Structures are given as C-alpha cells and as structure tokens.
Amino acid sequence: CAVEPVEDVSDWLRDKDEADFIYNLDGWSRFDSPTEQAEYYSLLQYPESDTGYDGSKVWSFIHGSICFPEGCEGADAALNAAVSALHTLIAVAIVGDMRAQGDAEGAAAQFARRVGGRPR
C-alpha cells in the first residue's frame, strides 16, 4: 500500500494551518511552524482500506492517552463516545473495502473482531 502526499493543497488550508500555530522564541532561535514540514494526504484519493496493519498500537495510544477513564460523565464521556464512533467508522470502512475486494469471509471475521459486541 503506497500513500503519497498531495502537492496540490488549497491555499485556505495552508493559511489556516499557519494561523493556528503560535511561534515560540527561545533565545535567538525560532521553532518553525509545523506547516513548513507538513505533508497533506487526500482521504478522497486514499480512503480507508485494508493495509494489513491492525492499528492496535495507534488505538491503544488514543484510548490510553487521550480518552478519559470509564465511568466519566458529561463532556469527558462525550469525547470518549466520539472517539469510539470514529474508531468504529474506520473499522467498518476497512471491512467494507475488504468485502468490495472479494474477501467476504475475511471481512466477516474482521467485522466480528473489530466491531462485534460494541459498544462495550
């Protein structure tokens, strides 16, 4: 699976990225804007698909470092629900791609593994 950065990025996106960054001065040096090193990828050109990577390290980090503990309430619980929904959406898109590529049996197994029994 080869995913290449997109060179043709709209000016409004680059301008927005630059406007979102606050420059910090440290002595005589400046920490450069992340947009100078940023690479943009098109989700339309490269939609979710089965790359063979199960995403476990990424999702463990997200759920362990960004989400709030189980049993939280209010805005914390809403963030957890949103992250869970995003995780499920990506999993379903990957499984859908597997099925579209002709791997119905693998897609069914992955659906059961990734989505079955949720929400918890």
pTM: 0.57
Helices and strands (DSSP H and E) totals, the chain: 4, 2
In angstroms, the CA 52 to CA 2 distance is: 12
Whether 50 and 91 have beta carbons less than 8 Å apart is answered as: no
pLDDT in the model for residue 78: 93
* Tens-digit pLDDT string for the chain (120 aa): 566 777 788 888 778 777 776 655 555 555 555 556 667 777 777 776 767 777 788 888 888 888 888 899 999 999 999 998 988 888 888 889 889 999 999 999 988 988 886 554
pLDDT in the model for residue 63: 85
In angstroms, the CA 43 to CA 6 distance is: 10
